[in-house]
């Protein structure tokens, strides 16, 4: 399939089709579909902007640098995708495909790079803030996990929560926080309720010392993530041998309605239905603020 183009002719769609057609018969149908579309769009992009070798090589350098900076504590490849909205988009596509679209269903948002698999289980009503900073505002957060279609409470659903401290750092990024600070896994009770003490979240900038930060600077973009709390909610609780099979797990973030960066999240994760309001709490010496947040799960489609 050597190209038959003439001198001076830019390689066109025939060249692109040749690249796609080079895939062999043992390629899986899904990989063939994904790679064919990727090759077509990347080639169309290069032709559309008449991408030069120097510009392309700058992109290659950026990708290689992202890989070199990535480790178990940061993921620059992911962050590069995040700042162009790609993680939010694939999250939305994936969540939509996995659930029967239902009014009232809690929306998803991106996982981000700071979730940990080994977060300890804590009892309802416990705190996740063990190194509460002087500028931290403690919040009593609680709510109910229910089946979106029937309203039935889901017992023993696990609510995995994680957040940054007021310095903008998650515990694995910050030697000043003890391990597993500001994270915990809670199990809902017989009425589907969970509860814990956490911090009112505060905005923080994405890391600016890597290629994603450099790209943001080149794009003259604001770099802060609006104040948010991460949640991952699973209906099954394997430790307790109680299963709510057939519910789609939810990964999401809830955003402080009053945060000034709500309208220009640097990773485009905000959805209107995920904004929340922290209200004053009376009669609790441990927390001046309260947040009730109810979560609905849908059966998988």
Q: 108 to 147, contacts with its own copies by CB under 8 A? A: 111
With respect to its own copies, which residue has the nearer C-beta, 103 or 117?
A: 103
From the CB of 71, what's the least distance to its own copies, in Å? 9
| CA proximity to 228, closest of 297, 289, 168, 296 | 168
With respect to its own copies, which residue has the nearer C-beta, 67 or 133?
A: 67
DSSP 232: E
DSSP 238: G
C-beta separation of 92 from 294 below 8 A: no
CA separation for the pair 250, 292 (Å, rounded): 18
With respect to its own copies, which residue has the nearer C-beta, 54 or 245?
A: 54
| CA proximity to 82, closest of 209, 271, 270, 267 | 267
Q: Is 207 in the site for its own copies (CB under 8 A)?
A: no
With respect to its own copies, which residue has the nearer C-beta, 8 or 280?
A: 8
Q: Which residue has the tokens 């991952």?
A: 232
With respect to its own copies, which residue has the nearer C-beta, 156 or 160?
A: 160
From the CB of 154, what's the least distance to its own copies, in Å? 18
Interactions with its own copies, residue window 213-272 (CB under 8 A): 218-222, 262-265, 268, 270-272
From the CB of 190, what's the least distance to its own copies, in Å? 27
Q: Write out the two tokens for 267.
A: 């990773």
Q: Is 300 in the site for its own copies (CB under 8 A)?
A: no
Sign of CA dihedral 288, 153, 112, 131: positive
CA separation for the pair 154, 235 (Å, rounded): 7
Q: Count CA within 13 A, CB hemisphere, residue 94.
A: 15
Interactions with its own copies, residue window 74-103 (CB under 8 A): 75-78, 80-81, 84-94, 96-97, 99, 101-103
The single residue among 52, 243, 294, 300 that binds its own copies, judged by CB under 8 A, is 52
The single residue among 14, 23, 135, 239 that binds its own copies, judged by CB under 8 A, is 23
CA separation for the pair 254, 277 (Å, rounded): 10
From the CB of 252, what's the least distance to its own copies, in Å? 11
CA separation for the pair 119, 183 (Å, rounded): 7
Q: Write out the two tokens for 167.
A: 């310095």
From the CB of 213, what's the least distance to its own copies, in Å? 15
With respect to its own copies, which residue has the nearer C-beta, 2 or 241?
A: 2
From the CB of 242, what's the least distance to its own copies, in Å? 26
The single residue among 14, 51, 212, 283 that binds its own copies, judged by CB under 8 A, is 51
With respect to its own copies, which residue has the nearer C-beta, 118 or 220?
A: 220
Q: Is 19 in the site for its own copies (CB under 8 A)?
A: yes
Give CA separation, 133 vs 138, 169, 198, in Å. 10, 12, 12
Residues with Cβ within 8 Å of residue 212, at least 6 apart in sequence: 66, 76, 79, 80, 82, 83, 206
With respect to its own copies, which residue has the nearer C-beta, 77 or 136?
A: 77
The single residue among 13, 14, 37, 120 that binds its own copies, judged by CB under 8 A, is 37
Cα distance from N-terminal residue to C-terminal residue, the chain: 43
């Amino acid at each position: 399939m050597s190209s038959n183009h003439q001198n001076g002719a830019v390689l066109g769609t025939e060249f692109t089709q040749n690249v796609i057609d080079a895939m062999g018969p043992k390629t899986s149908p899904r990989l063939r579909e994904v790679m064919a579309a990727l090759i077509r769009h990347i080639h169309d992009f290069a032709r559309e902007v008449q991408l030069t070798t120097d510009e392309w090589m700058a992109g290659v350098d950026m990708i290689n640098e992202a890989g070199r900076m990535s480790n178990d504590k940061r993921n620059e490849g992911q962050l590069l995708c995040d700042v162009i909205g790609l993680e939010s988009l694939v999250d939305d596509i994936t969540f939509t495909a996995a659930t029967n679209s239902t009014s009232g269903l809690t929306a998803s948002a991106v996982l981000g790079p700071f979730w940990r698999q080994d977060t300890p289980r804590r009892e309802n009503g416990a705190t996740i803030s063990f190194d509460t900073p002087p500028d931290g505002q403690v919040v009593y957060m609680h709510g109910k996990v229910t089946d979106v279609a029937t309203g039935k409470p889901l017992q023993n659903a696990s609510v995995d929560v994680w957040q940054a401290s007021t310095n903008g750092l998650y515990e694995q990024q910050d030697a000043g926080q003890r391990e597993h600070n500001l994270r915990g896994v809670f199990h809902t009770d017989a009425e589907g309720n969970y509860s814990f003490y956490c911090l009112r979240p505060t905005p923080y900038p994405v890391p600016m010392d890597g290629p994603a930060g450099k790209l943001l600077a080149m794009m003259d973009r604001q770099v802060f993530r609006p104040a948010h709390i991460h949640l991952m909610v699973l209906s099954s609780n394997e430790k307790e041998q109680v299963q709510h099979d057939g519910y789609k797990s939810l990964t999401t973030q809830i955003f402080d309605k009053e945060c000034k960066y709500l309208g220009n999240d640097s990773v485009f994760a905000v959805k209107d239905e995920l904004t929340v309001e922290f209200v004053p709490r009376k009669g609790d010496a441990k927390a001046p603020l309260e947040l009730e947040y109810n979560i609905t799960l849908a059966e998988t489609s």
